[in-house]
């Protein structure tokens, strides 16, 4: 087969159909190189490329399976999340209903218990107020008595000038008060 091509090439060049210049020679060398490369290494290259393509094909299939599995798990997770969210929303509504029921029950119970004990507490507070006012008045009287005794002691026994002067002023005010009334 190579003989026929060389014979054809020689015939075409002598008839000046194919011009022999640098570009033609480079093309001729490239064609011969490609043909020899295909003849000698074509089968090995074909087998290697087919092996690589099957590996790439298998890799793409496994990656597609993994992507579909991860997408399915993501979708299932999303659905479970929305189900969880919906369940929490329902739980919130039930919790609020329960809370309102408990609050109403406690309010009724507290109202009844305070209503029954309110009168007793009011009576107790009233008694405490009376006793407190009595106690405060007694304490005040005792303190005033002590103040009067001390003032008398300071003015008469010690003869402190401040207290004697104060005593004289008080006596004058009492006399004026008696005159004008």
Q: Give the C-alpha separation, 175 to 169, whole Å.
A: 10
How much is the average pLDDT of 141-150? 82
Whole-number pLDDT of residue 44: 84
Higher pLDDT, 134 or 159: 134
Residue 63 to residue 69: CA distance in whole angstroms: 10
> Rounded to an integer, what distance in angstroms lies between the CA atom of residue 25 and that of residue 22?
5
Confidence of residue 165 (pLDDT cuts 50, 70, 90): low
| pLDDT, mean of residues 23-44 | 83
pTM: 0.34
Distance of alpha carbon 86 from alpha carbon 27, whole angstroms: 74
**Residue ranges of the domains in the chain?**
2-180
Contact 153, 161 (CB under 8 A): no
Q: Tokens 């405490």 belong to which residue?
A: 128
Residue pair 12/18 in contact (Cβ under 8 Å)? The answer is yes
pLDDT in tens, 50-84: 999 999 999 999 999 999 999 999 999 888 888 88
Mean predicted confidence (pLDDT) in 109-130 = 80
Q: Where are the beta strands (DSSP E) in the chain?
A: none
What does the mean pLDDT of the chain come to? 82
State the Cα angle at 82 between 77 and 85, rounded to 5°: 125
């Amino acid at each position: 087969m190579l003989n026929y091509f060389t014979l054809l090439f020689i015939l075409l060049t002598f008839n000046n159909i194919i011009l022999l210049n640098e570009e033609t020679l480079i093309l001729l060398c490239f064609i011969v190189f490609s043909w020899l490369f295909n003849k000698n290494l074509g089968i090995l290259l074909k087998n290697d490329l087919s092996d690589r393509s099957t590996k790439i094909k298998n890799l793409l299939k496994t990656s597609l399976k993994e992507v579909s599995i991860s997408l399915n798990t993501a979708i299932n997770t999303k659905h479970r999340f929305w189900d969880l969210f919906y369940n929490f929303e329902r739980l919130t509504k039930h919790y609020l209903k329960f809370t309102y029921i408990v609050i109403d029950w406690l309010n009724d119970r507290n109202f009844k218990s305070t209503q029954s004990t309110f009168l007793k507490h009011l009576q107790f507070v009233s008694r405490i107020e009376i006793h407190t006012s009595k106690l405060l008045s007694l304490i005040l009287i005792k303190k005033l008595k002590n103040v009067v005794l001390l003032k008398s002691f300071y003015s008469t026994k010690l003869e402190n000038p401040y207290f004697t002067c104060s005593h004289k002023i008080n006596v004058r005010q009492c006399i004026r008060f008696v005159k004008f009334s």
